[in-house]
Structure 1
Amino acid sequence: MDHLVFEVGLAVILIALVGLLSAKLRFSVIPFYILLGMAVGEHAPHFGLLDFRFIESEPFISFLGRLGVLFLLFYLGLEFSVGRLIKSGRSIAVGGTIYILINFTLGILYGWFTGFPLNETLVIAGITTISSSAIVAKVLVDLKRTANPETEMILGIIMFEDIFLAVYISILSGLVLSGATSLGGILLSASYALGFMLLFIIIGRKMVPVLNKALNIRSNELFLLVIFGVLFLVAGFSETIHVAEAIGALLVGLVLAETEHMKRIEHLILPFRDFFGALFFFSFGLTIDPTMFGDLQVWLLALGAVAITLFGNFTAGMLAGRSAGLSGKASSNIGLTIVSRGEFSIIMANIGKAGGLLAIIQPFAALYVLILAILGPLLTKESKLVYKMLDKVFRWERREKLKKERSQTQQ
């Protein structure tokens, strides 16, 4: 690892340059980071002495990227509070159920209609159901939408997805890797995930007065050491009980948002969120092999999945938002924001690879994730325009206006 520091330094410079380019073009920076990673990853073409591939430093950069996910979700949690989530508990449960049912059903039907065997169909459904927590968090922060009314629902759906993920990975691993699964084991895994989240939120809320005193530390250095220690410890423990480490980081942020030190934490954590977050998307690009995209069948399969995901997410977002009493515009924002796919879809594809399923699953997942990682932030940014265009067809605004008028007339 003689050139590790040099490679990491070069990676950071390249990331900064594409960041400046995206700012000039006024486009989401996330696709630029991913495409840059693809261009310099171990699978990228090389030309003799002109070999700019990041091979030696890739494992280290990937680890820094994992930290980026933790900081992104931790910061998102800081923007909210446990109290706000509890108030929206019922609507989040309803919205999350709607989201999972629609997208999972569409995934199963898509796998079946395209002629895949059962195990491959279940993997495809997993790939197309779960959105990317990291990309969603990054987009919400970048577009300054953390205070929007629909963001509570988006955050709740992300947490709801994680409970589903814990259960589904247990089922899928049992079916694909060992050929069978235990109902008791699945229920136990789901209970661990749900129980841990609820227990952490309840205890964390009661601990706020203690945390206020414990975090009354003058030194920023010691203050950050304590915050980082708690963040990594909880995130790491979450992973051991089959709750995504990113959700553990989100829970820590939600609890600390209740304390009187929230603004100080937010101010100090911001540079770490931006730096490590950029490295996450770059490291994600490093894992993608561009040569896998040469098969027409892969493109057709990925584009078909993108189409059903866009339809499923928008429909689920509208229904979930309406069930919570949100406006048509806010409801459409839900579906367009959580359309991005990323780390969890790749995990699903890796289960398929480990189980010796059809080889097309890997390139399909990579291309599908790449398209939605690019399209998702763009749709979120232009959500107002998308809603206006669809409103001309479906007339949601007119229906809302008529509904209000009738309500006022009846009063």
Structure 2
Amino acid sequence: MDHMIFEVGTALLLIAIASLLAGKLKISIIPFLIILGMVVGPHAPSIGILDFTFIESEEIISFLGRIGVLFLLFYIGLEFSVSKLVKSGRNIVFGGTIYVVLNFVIGLVYGLLVDFPLYETLIIAGMLSVSSTAIVAKVLVDLRRTGNSETELILGMVLFDDLFLAVFLSVMSGLLLGGATSIGGILLSVGISMGYMLLFFIIAKVGTPLLNKLLNITSNEIFIIVVFSLLFFIAGFSEKLHVAEAIGALLFGLALSETKHSKRIEQLVIPFRDFFGAVFFFSFGLSIDPLTLGDAAWMAIGAVVLTIIANVVSGMIAGRKAGLSHKASTNIGLTVMARGEFTIIVANLGITAGLMPLLKPFSALYVLILAILGPLLAKESKHIYSGLNKIFKWSKPKEKAKKLGYTEDVEK
């Protein structure tokens, strides 16, 4: 206990070094932090006064990681609003539905093929269905594609995916954490979860004037104390109702997203989101025994292959339905490929509920591979499109098209 602060400080220093390295290499920070957590931990050596096993501080690091999840989901809730989805148009709803359904169905089939029980299969399907908002946003910025024709649809699909995540976690929380065994009990648990979620949607739509008045606080110090106190209370209260604490945070963010204070809250939350979020990925890696990863290797690779296929197909369908070119449609599927924070949150729900231990190494490997491979595929999208175009003959080469008098069919 005497070395607790020093151990936590050592962990944070390692996180800082890994973050700097990821920044220099212009690669997502998520795989770096997960790998770092896996390398250190109980199997790491102690060098002098530096103890990299983090045995004494494991609980506090894990708790800080849980705070990271709350801030992450709270921020997503602030970014999302019911009005945005309503105004986003049919293309986003169609594209998001195709994306979620195709990935979810493939996850269900895959879970059944590897002979997983029902709840584990549902968790696997959920893991395969949610992309990483953080990585997708970073890819769009890093590749300077924020002004591309497909970017609005990409962001809309990610937004729709976040909404699916909220519903999925609410339902699965009722099933897994509600302790219900009979059909009536299960329906009651799911009903409570859905009703609780609906309550926040109603608050977001009709309670905005009251929230504006309550949060009309001049002092930033008092303002942040009030908001964060409510955040942690609501997250804890949600858990009492057997709704995942992360979803409680997301719903609270949703309720505040329509207020005039939302931008002010976002600016105050971002540093906490980034700091504690980094601890979350590190703590997740810390809980994984690298020696167990081999047991899930082939299963994770199979899931990665299916995810790549499902993403390219759903991106192509969504893009073409929206009137985008084959090239832009290919970009959609490759950009939303990465898996990260939300996949881990879904996996953690199953782990917390006492499901198969294999979920932990599987989720770690699955996220690691796609967190690295996703941005790389997006970066090489031009070459991938060229290769696919040679197979499917979507468009004619520019030179040949010009000679034949074609103009509209040539991909830009």
**TM-score scaled by structure 1?**
0.79
- Match of residue 136 from structure 1: 133
The answer (yes or no) to whether the contact 2:334–2:381 under 8 Å persists in 1 is no
The aligned runs of 1:138-217 (5 Å cut-off) are 139-140=136-137, 143-144=140-141, 148-149=151-152, 150-168=154-172, 181-217=181-217
Query: Residues of 1 paired with 2:146 and 2:81: CA distance?
Result: 12
Q: List runs of 5+ in structure 2 lacking aligned partners.
A: 397-406
Query: Residues of 2 paired with 1:241 and 1:395: CA distance?
Result: 54
C-alpha distance after superposition, 1:97-156 (max 9, x if no partner)? 43443223323433444xx4452x762453243259794335526755899422132122
Deviation at 1:63, TM superposition (A): 1.3
Query: Residues of 1 paired with 2:122 and 2:41: CA distance?
Result: 28
The aligned runs of 1:290-309 (5 Å cut-off) are 290-294=290-294, 298-309=296-307
The answer (yes or no) to whether the contact 2:15–2:33 under 8 Å persists in 1 is yes
- Match of residue 236 from structure 1: 236
Q: 1:316 aligns with which of 314, 320, 325?
A: 314
- Match of residue 28 from structure 1: 28
Paired amino acid for 2:332: N
- Match of residue 270 from structure 1: 270
Deviation at 1:340, TM superposition (A): 0.6
Deviation at 1:38, TM superposition (A): 0.8
Deviation at 1:227, TM superposition (A): 1.3
Aligned partner of residue 38 in structure 2, secondary structure: helix
**60-69 or 307-316: bigger deviation:** 307-316
C-alpha distance after superposition, 1:193-251 (max 9, x if no partner)? 33333331222232222222222212111000111122223333333444433333333
Query: Residues of 2 paired with 1:98 and 1:27: CA distance?
Result: 29
- What is the root-mean-square deviation in Å for CA atoms of aligned residues? 3.9
The answer (yes or no) to whether the contact 2:234–2:249 under 8 Å persists in 1 is yes
Deviation at 1:165, TM superposition (A): 4.0
Measured at CA, do residues 222 and 201 of structure 1 come closer, stay the same or move farther in structure 2, by a change above 3 Å?
same
Paired amino acid for 1:204: A
Measured at CA, do residues 167 and 258 of structure 1 come closer, stay the same or move farther in structure 2, by a change above 3 Å?
closer
Measured at CA, do residues 253 and 331 of structure 1 come closer, stay the same or move farther in structure 2, by a change above 3 Å?
farther
The answer (yes or no) to whether the contact 2:102–2:314 under 8 Å persists in 1 is yes
- Match of residue 39 from structure 1: 39
Query: Residues of 2 paired with 1:60 and 1:6: CA distance?
Result: 12
The answer (yes or no) to whether the contact 2:139–2:375 under 8 Å persists in 1 is no
C-alpha distance after superposition, 1:49-75 (max 9, x if no partner)? 674212211111111111112222322
Query: Residues of 2 paired with 1:153 and 1:74: CA distance?
Result: 19
Query: Residues of 1 paired with 2:242 and 2:322: CA distance?
Result: 29
Paired amino acid for 1:374: I
**330-339 or 188-197: bigger deviation:** 330-339
Paired amino acid for 2:347: I
- Match of residue 77 from structure 2: 77
- Match of residue 409 from structure 1: none
The answer (yes or no) to whether the contact 1:7–1:57 under 8 Å persists in 2 is yes
Query: Residues of 1 paired with 2:370 and 2:133: CA distance?
Result: 11
Aligned partner of residue 130 in structure 1, secondary structure: helix
**193-202 or 82-91: bigger deviation:** 82-91
Query: Residues of 2 paired with 1:67 and 1:86: CA distance?
Result: 31
- Match of residue 332 from structure 2: 333
The aligned runs of 1:218-233 (5 Å cut-off) are 218-233=218-233
The answer (yes or no) to whether the contact 1:69–1:246 under 8 Å persists in 2 is yes
- Match of residue 347 from structure 1: 348
Aligned partner of residue 70 in structure 1, secondary structure: helix
Measured at CA, do residues 138 and 196 of structure 1 come closer, stay the same or move farther in structure 2, by a change above 3 Å?
farther
For this pair of structures, how many residues does the alignment match? 392
The answer (yes or no) to whether the contact 2:71–2:272 under 8 Å persists in 1 is yes
The answer (yes or no) to whether the contact 2:65–2:277 under 8 Å persists in 1 is yes
**TM-score scaled by structure 2?**
0.78
- Match of residue 400 from structure 2: none
The answer (yes or no) to whether the contact 1:75–1:250 under 8 Å persists in 2 is yes
Paired amino acid for 1:73: L
**3-12 or 79-88: bigger deviation:** 79-88
Query: Residues of 2 paired with 1:4 and 1:263: CA distance?
Result: 36
Paired amino acid for 2:168: F
C-alpha distance after superposition, 1:7-66 (max 9, x if no partner)? 111111111111111121121111111111111122x34368674212211111111111
The aligned runs of 1:382-393 (5 Å cut-off) are 390=388, 393=391
Q: List runs of 5+ in structure 1 lacking aligned partners.
A: 399-403, 407-411
Paired amino acid for 1:315: V
Query: Residues of 2 paired with 1:282 and 1:220: CA distance?
Result: 30
Query: Residues of 2 paired with 1:230 and 1:106: CA distance?
Result: 38
Paired amino acid for 1:347: N
Paired amino acid for 2:159: L
Measured at CA, do residues 362 and 76 of structure 1 come closer, stay the same or move farther in structure 2, by a change above 3 Å?
closer
Query: Residues of 2 paired with 1:193 and 1:386: CA distance?
Result: 42
Measured at CA, do residues 192 and 334 of structure 1 come closer, stay the same or move farther in structure 2, by a change above 3 Å?
farther
Query: In the alignment, is residue 281 of structure 1 matched against residue 290 of structure 2?
Result: no
Deviation at 1:345, TM superposition (A): 4.8
Query: Residues of 2 paired with 1:62 and 1:278: CA distance?
Result: 12
Aligned partner of residue 84 in structure 1, secondary structure: helix
Deviation at 1:331, TM superposition (A): 7.3
